[in-house]
Structures are given as C-alpha cells and as structure tokens.
Amino acid sequence: MQRDALPPEAILYAMVQTADTVNEAYGRALQRKDTKSIFLAESELPASKDKIKAALVFRAFFYKSQGKLDKPMYERMYSSHQTCYGYLANIVSEEVAARSRKEAELMGDIPEIQRKGQFDPKWFEEFEKYSTPPEEIGRYGEQFLTLCGEFARRLEALDDPSKKAKELAVLRQALLSD
C-alpha cells in the first residue's frame, strides 16, 4: 500500500516514527563529532539536511500540538531542537571537515609548545595552512543564526491556519519520501 493511500492517522504515525528515528540518529552523530572541531562532514549525517530539518520542526510541532508538555519543558525542547537545527550550518564538505580536524589537532599541541617555551616555525606554517579564516567562521555563525530563525518561522507557519496545511505537506514530503 502506498503511503498516500494510508489513512491520515497512519500517515501521522509514520511521520512521528520517522521524525523520532532521524532526530535520534542526528543526535548520535552530533555526539560522535570531534568536540575540538566545530564542523561535521556531511557524509556523517544519518539523513539529508532537509529531512533532518523536517524531523526537528515536526517533533517540536507535534509536542506542542499534543499539549502534554508544560511551558518550561516545551521551551527547553524548543530551544534544543532550534539549536540542533542551527548546527546544520556546521555541516560541511569532507575537505572542510578534514581541515578543521587537523586545525583542532594542531591547537591541541599548543599547551605542549607553551610548556617547552619553544615555538617551531614549521608548526606555524602548518597551522596557517589548516586554520579556518575568521571570516569563514563568521559566515558559519551567521548561517547558524539564519537557520535558527528559519526554524522559528516554520513553527510559526504551523500555528497560522492559512499556512499550516502547506507546511505540513512540505514536512510530510521531506519525512516520508525515500
């Protein structure tokens, strides 16, 4: 039976299950991320960015629509989902992620260099080669804020009766298409 032929309750259940699965897998990917590096390679994601975005928005909407969370609990969940949505700004190509890991590795050498009191010019050359330019870090920071705003707008659309059906259709497509 095709998903479109399913009754609405079954479609909703499939969306909830998919959102839960994707959110849990994305959370595990973020936990596995090298804490010294600010970037994660796109190949390390459990699903496409669009599917992860849809999963985060849908779960926040679903929790709110069920009315089972008190306001402080919902606000914590909303903030957590919004932050994870924003973290998608730090999902980058393999090349950028590898460069970032090397930069983090080199930065880990700094305490030892300081302890010895001896700086090796070759270390500086290598660090320059791999370091993320400040303007690039700033760009990812701006993207993070943009994505956090996008998350908020998508949830607001679900609260607007004139936009809700369209946004739910977009979420359904993203979550249930293979």
Each residue's pLDDT tens digit, 5-36: 556 889 999 999 999 999 999 999 988 776 66
Predicted local confidence at residue 107, as pLDDT: 81
CA distance 170 to 89: 21
Kind plus residue range of the DSSP H or E element containing 92: strand 91-92
Asked if residue 74 lies in contact with residue 102, where contact means CB atoms within 8 angstroms, the answer is no
CA distance 104 to 86: 21
Q: What percent of the chain has pLDDT over 90?
A: 48
Asked if residue 138 lies in contact with residue 169, where contact means CB atoms within 8 angstroms, the answer is no
Kind plus residue range of the DSSP H or E element containing 76: helix 71-86
Q: Average pLDDT in the 81-96 region?
A: 91
Give phi and psi for 131, each to the nearest 5. Answer: -70, 145
Kind plus residue range of the DSSP H or E element containing 164: helix 161-176
Q: Three-class SS of residue 40?
A: strand
pLDDT digits (tens, 9 = 90+) for 37-83: 778 889 989 999 999 999 999 999 998 888 877 889 989 999 999 99
Asked if residue 54 lies in contact with residue 157, where contact means CB atoms within 8 angstroms, the answer is no
pLDDT of 2 > 80? The answer is: no
pLDDT band at 1 (very low <50, low <70, confident <90, very high): very low
Question: What is the value of pTM for the model shown?
Answer: 0.83
